[in-house]
Structure 1
Amino acid sequence: MSFSGKYELESQENYEQFLEAIGLSHAKTDHKVLTEVVQDGNNFTWTQTIPNWTWSNNFTVGQECELKTMSGSTFKAPVTMEGGKISVKFPQYQFEAELVDDKLVMTCVTPGEKGVTFRRVSKRI
């Protein structure tokens, strides 16, 4: 199944705790998040938009790519896909995304004994 499409935030768990864990506790959390994914084979453009802010990454599954964090810094990491689940190791957390019943489910987990698991579910619009 293709990830391509536009998605609107339906629910999220532990977002504020996640932002605090990665040092972005000052970020607003009461906003509508739109995610747009364009997939052409293994090539992706992944964009998240909230009012007054857009964050976008272009990547190819199976290759090391230069990616941007939520705070705007860049890093390089391989992007993998297994069993329909995209996975990337960001500097401060592990990111995974999959389609479940035509909904985009994104999970970010910070490392350590007191790690935070942030889960966002977005419906296709």
Structure 2
Amino acid sequence: MDFSGQYELQSQENVELFMQALGIPDDLIEKIKDLKSVTKIVQNGDDFIIAIQTGSQVLVNNFTLGQETHVETPAGEKVKAIMNLEEGNKLVVNSKGITSVAEFNGDLLTNTITFGNVVYKRISKKIEESNSEEDCL
């Protein structure tokens, strides 16, 4: 399955609670909680570039399935992680107490992120194809 594309955030649940659990200051949460975000994914075999733009901030992570890499969290921390593909349509990562499952179903991307007992859910819809690495930078 090719996950490449551009996905626009449609809805999210528990965003404030999740950001508080990560230690993001309340004033920053207020500024960013209602901003729309767009996720751009470029896949080349087992190699991925994922760029998430929220407002003017862009978070870019590169990884190869099954290989340890360093990724940046939404809180700005660099952590070691291994991304895996499960059931053919789920990208799964566990790192530093956070589990993230990105599930692709048709033109929908559902990302469920669990930290402790807080579950943050984001649903995005595919808006256009993006197959070049330059589109993510």
Normalised to the residue count of structure 1, the TM-score between the two structures is 0.91
Deviations 1:81-124 (A, max 9, x none): 1102111113241111011232111010012xxx1111100000
Which of the residues 40, 44, 59 maps onto 2:63?
A: 59
Quick one: percent identity of the two aligned structures?
A: 38
Q: Counterpart of 1:67 in 2: which secondary structure?
A: strand
Higher helix share: 2
1:77 matched to 2:70: no
List gaps (5 residues or longer) in structure 2. Answer: 128-137
- C-alpha contact (below 8 Å) 1:60/1:79 kept by paired residues: yes
RMSD of Structure 2 on Structure 1 (CA): 1.2
- C-alpha contact (below 8 Å) 2:22/2:75 kept by paired residues: no
Alignment of 1:12-23 (within 5 A): 12-23=12-23
1:40 matched to 2:41: no
Amino acid at match of 1:4: S
Q: Which has the higher contact order (CA 8 A, sep 6+)?
A: 2
Equivalent residue, structure 1, for 2:126:
124
Q: What number of residue pairs does the alignment pair up?
A: 122
CA distance in 2, matches of 1:70, 1:36: 16
Amino acid at match of 1:118: Y
Deviations 1:55-90 (A, max 9, x none): 010001111111111122211121111102111113
